[in-house]
Amino acid sequence: MIETTSYHESALALHKRVCVVDAHCDTISLVLDDGHMFAHGSHEGHIDVPRLREAGMGIQVLACWNEPQWSGHAAFARCMEKIGTFYQEQRKADLRLVTRKADLDVLDLGFILSLEDAAPCMGNTRHIDALYAAGVRMIGLTWNGRNEIADGLKVGDKPGGLTDVGRICVGHMQALGIVVDLSHIAEVGFWDVVAESTKPLACSHSNAKAVHDHIRNLTDAQIKAIAASGGVIGVTYVPSFLSTERPGIAEVIRHIEHIVEVGGIDVVGLGSDFDGIQTTPVGLEDCSRLPALTAALMERGWKEAELTKLLGANWVRVFKANWTC
Ligand SMILES: [Zn+2]
């Protein structure tokens, strides 16, 4: 077992002295829909504040996922309910909301709000301003379906790319200082955004298609494009994106190392999808287990400088490059 090696202690020590970032989880939905105990902890789900602290996490991105039945004003209202859910948890335990570049330099647990599916934006820049004012700093343009901005990757045989309104919205997000997240977007839209974008791009939770051929994974060309933008890809623990059999830490590492091989060390990060998945890789059963992944990489000879980038420095760089203050 990895925990019995000295690497586990070294991993935990490293987590405490660098900023560890997880760019995607669905914990807010669990809090809202199931009463998941987030601020004070729970034995259920994958993420809560005590377990994040135990793992030495620096920043947890909390996604407000738009369930596919909501569109238009209902999607905006549902998103506000999810953002309000975070603020109610924040009051319970004085949680740190990270919205400014200077907040990224503080070595203490903090949270970034993101959207998974821009349906709540309704293709309207005023909604984007309102979401920014509410604290949102990253927006996934689509989930699997269609919205005003673009098509997700499960829209029929020939999904569309960025719409005219979508182009305006992407420009507005980047001008305000919101990271544009391309996980879930159909490939045609991915390339439209790459052509339009003026800032480093992100895929908050996506893996490598060359390692495991899954519709949600990125081709090598897409990995190179994110790298060329100065962006980052959060390797995710969704079992079906990792392998055909139930994966373990070794499969997560295969995706990490392939992305590094294709795009370089500056493009790789983490985006667990904890609390959005029913099963997890063996060895990464919840957020408190992250040191096991770091320890396994140390055992494979990863240097501290490389681990620091993977664990969070690449995400911090992309947030800083996009955020305007
Ligand atoms: Zn997702």
pLDDT at 4: 52
**Average of per-residue pLDDT across 137-145:** 98
Of 196, 185, 172, the closest CA to residue 122 belongs to 172
Q: Give 11 Cα–ligand 1 centroid separation in angstroms.
A: 27
pLDDT at 42: 87
Q: Give 299 Cα–ligand 1 centroid separation in angstroms.
A: 30
Check which CATH number belongs to the domain holding 162 and give it.
3.20.20.140
Q: What is the pLDDT of residues 267-305, one digit of tens each?
A: 999 999 999 999 999 999 999 999 999 999 999 999 999
Q: Give 1 Cα–ligand 1 centroid separation in angstroms.
A: 30
Instruction: Name the pLDDT band for 2 (thresholds 50, 70, 90).
Output: very low
Range(s) of the domain holding residue 227: 2-322
Q: Give 14 Cα–ligand 1 centroid separation in angstroms.
A: 28
Structural domain tally of the chain? Answer: 1
Strands of 136-140's sheet in order across: 21-22, 59-65, 110-116, 136-140, 179-181, 202-203, 232-235, 268-270
**Average of per-residue pLDDT across 159-185:** 98
pLDDT at 79: 98
**Average of per-residue pLDDT across 21-26:** 98
Q: What is the pLDDT of residues 29-51, one digit of tens each?
A: 999 999 989 999 988 999 999 99
Q: Cα separations (Å) of 276 from 23, 228, 322?
A: 13, 29, 26
Q: Give 48 Cα–ligand 1 centroid separation in angstroms.
A: 19
Q: Give 124 Cα–ligand 1 centroid separation in angstroms.
A: 23
